[in-house]
Amino acid sequence: MRRRLYFLLPTVDSARKVHNELLLSRIEERHMHVVARDDVDLDDLPEAGLLQKTDLVHSIQIGLMLGGAAGIVLGGLAGVMGYLVSGLEGLAMLGTGLGGAVIGAFTSSMIGVSVPNTKHKEFQRHIDKGGLLFLVEVPVEQVDEVSEKIRQHYPEAAVRGIEPTIPAFP
């Protein structure tokens, strides 16, 4: 299990130093992500991808729940109104629930791709001023060690929190 740590950094050079320090701490580069304005040149730093920059994961979760619930309700209404084959109402409700979940996840993902990550809202002013948001996903047992190491070696890095869980599939 991993936790995502947030660091605010003033420059690309300071982000590069933190990046190198994390590599020396045996944190793989695929677990590091940098969020910056579009006009900031990150050079060889690992830029945050779609899953980190947008609200895609959260939108899909909500779409699955709402679409599944709507599908079950519509399947139930169809059963009550007699539109379903007698004896197969449960199977039909399951099918409409799954279909609703798929449609809900798809449509909400289209919206989520265009919405900035809501967890980054509090950091947006810093990013707009040219600063960087550095995300690093570390094993639970290394959270304190990595945070302390960054605090000691790079006082310009503002440790801004820990996300309790990160999505399982990215």
Q: In the chain, what are the domain boundaries?
A: 2-52+118-163, 56-112
pTM of the model: 0.74
Point out which residues pair with 136 in neighbouring strands.
5, 32
Q: What's the rounded Cα separation, in Å, for the pair 52 and 59?
A: 13
Closest CA to 45 of 133, 147, 123: 133
**Whole-number pLDDT of residue 164:** 64
Q: What is the mean pLDDT of residues 75-100?
A: 89
Is 160 a residue whose pLDDT tops 80? Answer: no
Overall fold of domain 2-52+118-163: Alpha-Beta Plaits (3.30.70)
